[in-house]
Amino acid sequence: MTDTIFDYVIVGGGTAGSVLANRLSARPENRVLLIEAGIDTPENNIPPEIHDGLRPWLPRLSGDKFFWPNLTIHRAAEHPGITREPQFYEQGRLLGGGSSVNMVVSNRGLPRDYDEWQALGADGWDWQGVLPYFIKTERDADYGDDPLHGNAGPIPIGRVDSRHWSDFTVAATQALEAAGLPNIHDQNARFDDGYFPPAFTLKGEERFSAARGYLDASVRARPNLSLWTESRVLKLLTTGNAITGVSVLRGRETVQVQAREVILTAGALQSPAILLRTGIGPAADLHALGIPVLADRPGVGRNLWEHSSIGVVAPLTEQARADASTGKAGSRHQLGIRASSGVDPATPSDLFLHIGADPVSGLASAVFWVNKPSSTGWLKLKDADPFSYPDVDFNLLSDPRDLARLKAGLRLITHYFAAPSLAKYGLALALSRFAAPQPGGPLLNDLLQDEAALERYLRTNVGGVWHASGTARIGRADDSHAVVDKAGRVYGVTGLRVADASIMPTVPTANTNLPTLMLAEKIADAILAQA
């Protein structure tokens, strides 16, 4: 007989959900259910397409096998003369979520990111408040004994040592140093501009997802933890303003599950959609769809953050291809670079770049994103159907500062590749979308001579980096646009929390995987302290 009464029901088995399922079920008296719409990824049956953490990931994962099928979004903001087409958005739908399909980059961001969160009303989420949870989650193979790092957490972190860099990568470091960027070695403990070997969530050359780290065989064996994969939450159950459970589609059966507390960890696009369908969100929008208002929270679905991105590629010359083949497998993961565009002196380190070359594809690449964006977007329900996706608009480049940052980043790339150590390869740099780096785009030097053509190209081809966040942000009780309090509890109702990237007040200057692990650890501690 299926158990349908739990203390905690966690909706979404991605990065955050994996953490919470582990930490909450560590207390034997807590009955915990983790619900995931996608497939399971147990240690002994991880699909080979996602097991290798070092090969280019997106071409291998195209289609719907590991993603929410046919989920589309708008990226660029509306602008005269620009045609906006819906684009497929690769949101993980499997245990481990984004950590099972992402680029395995392990980046915390900067202390000022979290000090900004505190200033925006996320009390206790400043750098000193979040650092212990970054440390708790990691097992850093290179810096584990450093006071800013951890050596006993569930997630292994490592880097490709400079001794194994390819000759091409070494030439790139010489170009960066000639431009005044030092080697800062550890991006997660040095907070100035510079280049570094990126940190990855890897064990050897294998991807190490949150599911692998937090839901190993010993955790799965806990009698008080239930794991339902390939199961879809249809709605939250309510009594008055209390959330009392969830309705779940398992196969062809709909099951009503009772819970003392429901925790949404479905990601920054799905969690706010669940809130809205429950009647938690902007009252006018809910009324328009015929959804009874449970709590008027105007911030639900607003404040959608993403890092605007663009790519530059070039076919490798014969010499460059040979030089790119000299390093250890995996050095295609390139060099990480933190840089400042100079667009707004108040926001330094607003660019993040990768430079490298892949002898397999025969391409050199420089991909980058606006590390500290100013543009925000939104999502809204199209209808109340639980099988409908929300209407998502990232509204990228709506703030002119972000367009200026992309332009500045392209000029930096041109400057780096003009250094003697890289200029010797004679690479013809062409623009490309970050999500699908392919040669054949317009030549970078030509576009840099035509400001109007450059702007048109960027507005048409700007990409993101799958860092959706902010759509149910933390804030103080007197902030009408805040959705949750510092412990993730949703304002206006009882028995409901959100504990994923939705609650970030702003997107960090980082890939969001490590910050999401951190915030899930912190929310788990808050829940256990209140139990």
Query: Residues annotated as binding site for FAD?
Result: 102-105, 233, 466-467
Q: Which amino acid is at 176?
A: L
Supply 474's token pair: 């933390």
The three-state secondary structure class of 348 is: coil
Q: Which residues contact 218 (CB under 8 A, 6 or more apart)?
A: none
Q: Which residues contact 262 (CB under 8 A, 6 or more apart)?
A: 8, 9, 11, 236, 243, 245, 246, 495, 496, 497
User: Which of 58, 37, 530 minimizes the C-alpha distance to 264?
Assistant: 37
Q: Which amino acid is at 41?
A: T
Binding site listing: 102-105, 233, 466-467
- Assess whether 467 carries a catalytic annotation: yes
Q: What is the spatial distance between Cα 468 and Cα 491, in angstroms, rounded to a whole number?
A: 22
> What count of other Cβ atoms lies within 10 Å of the Cβ of residue 344?
14
From the candidates 74, 333, 354, 467, which is the catalytic residue? 467
DSSP conformation class of 204? T
**Number of residues written out for the chain:** 531
Taking each helix axis as running N to C, give the angle between helix 513-530 and helix 127-137, from 0 to 180 degrees, rounded to the nearest 10: 100
Scanning the structure block, which residue is given the tokens 């392990």? 106
User: What DSSP assignment string belongs to 459-527?
Assistant: HHH-B--S--B-TT-B--TT-TT--B-TT-BBTTSBSEEE-SGGG-SS--SS-SHHHHHHHHHHHHHHH
User: Which of 287, 305, 297, 291 minimizes the C-alpha distance to 471?
Assistant: 305
**Residues labelled catalytic:** 467
